[in-house]
Amino acid sequence: MLLLGRFLFVVLASLLRRRVAPLDESVVRFTVLPQDCDLNFHLNAGRFVSFMDVARIELVGRLGLLTKLLKKGWRPVMGGCVVRYRRSILPFERFDIRSRVIGWDDKWFYVEHVAEKNGAFCAIGHMRTVIRGANGTIPPRDVLALLKLEELQSPELPEFVRDWRDAEDRR
């Protein structure tokens, strides 16, 4: 709930911005506020993930999918993430999160988020997201059908993502 105001702004803006294709990138700019910081006075690691959540919803909006999902009572739910941090982002610094769908399988969509400030790499997150309805998980092919893209094939997932998926599936 701490990002609620920024979340609502980004969602509304996504509905007005230019649509993107399913494998295109979306960029959202944020500013670090003091409440986003930890005791080291830089952007908290958990808040990075929260900003990536907001950026992912923005991507869903720009895909033209958000209103279609809501009308069906479907919701995107994150099912796991791997984040690597490289550079701090300090209070009042602006940074971008570049988000894109990198592929899908029979259950999950895989999304990559890259956080940068002034073009410098700060963090990368790989998330797997499932779409849930009242009766359970909605297969990606059914979600793509909402966009009339049921014939679209997933790009090959990067080896790192395949290894991560396989490790999760063994649990």
What are the per-10-residue average pLDDT scores of the chain (171 residues)?
82 92 96 94 94 96 94 95 96 98 97 97 97 96 94 96 92 81
Q: Output b/e per residue, 98-111; b: 16+ Cβ within 10 A.
A: bbbbbbbbeebbbb
In the chain, the amino acid numbered 86 is R
Q: What is the pLDDT of residue 2?
A: 64
User: Considering the entire predicted model, what is its pTM?
Assistant: 0.93
CA 38 to CA 60: how far, in whole Å? 29
What residue numbers bound the domain in which 105 lies? 4-169
The CATH number given to whatever domain includes residue 73 is 3.10.129.10
Q: How many domains does the chain have?
A: 1
| Strand 109-117 with 136-138, pairing | unpaired
Q: What is the pLDDT of residue 50?
A: 95
